[in-house]
Amino acid sequence: MAKGAGAGGLPGFRDFYPEEFSNRAFIQQTWRDVARRFGFIEYDGPPLEPLELYTKKSGDEIVGQLYNFTDKGDREVALRPEMTPTFARMVGARANALRKPIRWFSIPQLFRYERQQKGRLREHFQLNVDIVGEPDVTADAELVAVAVECMRGFLLGPEDVRARVSDRRLLSAILEALDVSEAQRPEVFTVIDKLDRQPADVSRDKLRQAGLDAEAVEGILSLQRLDNPDKIRAAFPKHAGVTQRVAELSRYLDSTESLGIRDWVDVDLTIVRGLAYYTGIVFELFDAKGEFRAICGGGRYDTLLAALSGSDLPALGFGMGDVVLAEVLKARGRLRTSPIVLDFWVAFEEPGQLSEAMQTATTLRRQGWAVEYSLHPMPLGKQLDSARKAGADAAIIIRADGSLRKKVFESGEEEPFTFPNG
């Protein structure tokens, strides 16, 4: 979207010239329009938080990825790398007073000190959408519908973007059915997360190294083929835990049908989401051609609020960053700009009519029109050239006798002008 900072700018940060800023405004306005249509309310928090807020959630190892320092009050602080800890803190502070379910969204600028690569910078803007206080899978379906509706808002279709959905509880039940121990599961989850990105032989070797027997190894490698509830049931017909979780997944898929997005959704049990705090249904949005990183990701995190804020409430949410999204929109020809477009340019024939041009511009502006004029006298032809370059639809020309004429640039037609709206 925007190029990296120019001379003197920090690596991984962007300058937003007016054209790039209009792209950013277009993305963020679409996000806001969709979130509000779904009944979500916007909030924000400080860009600087106590360092402990992030280490409490992600461990001390996250410090290497943060912009952190000791402030003048000897407090350990960090620029926010994500919004969920701030969200959890804010919800926890007023949990008893807030109407449930809580439906909030935000568009923060986030910062991470990490290696730059395609689709990832050291700062980005991100749509965060969260629901708190509803444990049923209908909330999970509502959440993915928001993400999909954002894609529709950018004029993308299911042939452009796919929502790949899994369930951490279902995966745990499958691992139990395959006799994978609790101690083995973290390593197995890591392999599952990479099944579609590494050769099967590599995955097979890693699973064997984790201590799995041949039947369990082949069962995990088969997860890629289990792309609907019927196939999952057939693969594990006698395991009560799998049966229960598949029933919930089926209800979720029925809800996506009711919400009009079922044709966007693929069941993909290899979607694990690397963050350990996810507890239920998870999803990621990918471009259908596989050219880019994930556009969006999220899911249910029912235990996180209790861990971070002491409020034991079910919760789920997703984040959608602007960097990958802008690359996808540009590749699909959907990155539309929304620059300020002038409705009128007030021009004048005589140098002494500058004051009259100001008065005319003021009258039009107060009626709600976008208006510009030359801030110093210049020949009428140059004024009209400036009007065209500024993107004005028409010029209001003050003739030498004081009469007003409207010149429409696209048609070249000129006619007498009277002020709109009386």
User: Which two structure tokens, joined as six digits, stand for 110?
Assistant: 């986030």
Residues 196 and 295 in one domain: yes
Domain annotation covers residue 153: yes
Residues 396 and 284 in one domain: no
Which of 79, 59, 81 lies closest to 69 in space, CA to CA?
79
pTM here is 0.89
Backbone angles phi and psi of 193, in degrees to 5: -60, -20
Which pLDDT belongs to residue 125?
97
Residues 140 and 206 in one domain: yes
Write the burial class of residue 200 (CB in 10 Å: 0-12 exposed, 13-18 middle, 19+ buried): exposed
Domain annotation covers residue 1: no
Domain annotation covers residue 378: yes
> Does 3 have pLDDT greater than 70?
no
> Does 136 have pLDDT greater than 70?
yes
Which pLDDT belongs to residue 339?
65
Residues 265 and 208 in one domain: yes
Residues 141 and 226 in one domain: yes
331, 364, 386 — which closes off a domain?
331
Mean pLDDT of 378-388: 96
Residues 266 and 381 in one domain: no
Alpha helices in 154-213 (DSSP H): 168-177, 185-193, 200-209
CATH number for 409: 3.40.50.800
Residues 349 and 326 in one domain: no
Work out the pLDDT band at 141, boundaries 50, 70, 90: very high
pLDDT digits (tens, 9 = 90+) for 71-130: 999 999 999 999 999 999 999 999 999 999 999 999 999 999 988 777 789 999 999 999
Residues 222 and 316 in one domain: yes
Work out the pLDDT band at 7, boundaries 50, 70, 90: low
Work out the pLDDT band at 46, boundaries 50, 70, 90: very high
Which pLDDT belongs to residue 4?
57
Work out the pLDDT band at 338, boundaries 50, 70, 90: low
Residues 75 and 215 in one domain: yes
pLDDT, greater one: 367 or 339: 367
Work out the pLDDT band at 19, boundaries 50, 70, 90: confident
pLDDT digits (tens, 9 = 90+) for 232-250: 999 999 899 999 999 999 9
Segment holding 220, helix H or strand E? helix 214-221
Question: Measured on CA atoms in the order 10, 15, 2, 147, is the torsion positive or negative?
Answer: positive
Residues 247 and 105 in one domain: yes
Look at the chain and report how many structural domains it folds into: 2
279, 302, 331 — which closes off a domain?
331
**Are 126 and 81 within 8 A, CB to CB?**
no
Q: Which of 154-163, 211-220, 269-278, 285-294 has the highest mean pLDDT?
A: 154-163
CATH number for 33: 3.30.930.10
Residues 236 and 351 in one domain: no
Residues 137 and 246 in one domain: yes
Domain range for residue 389?
344-416
331, 364, 388 — which closes off a domain?
331
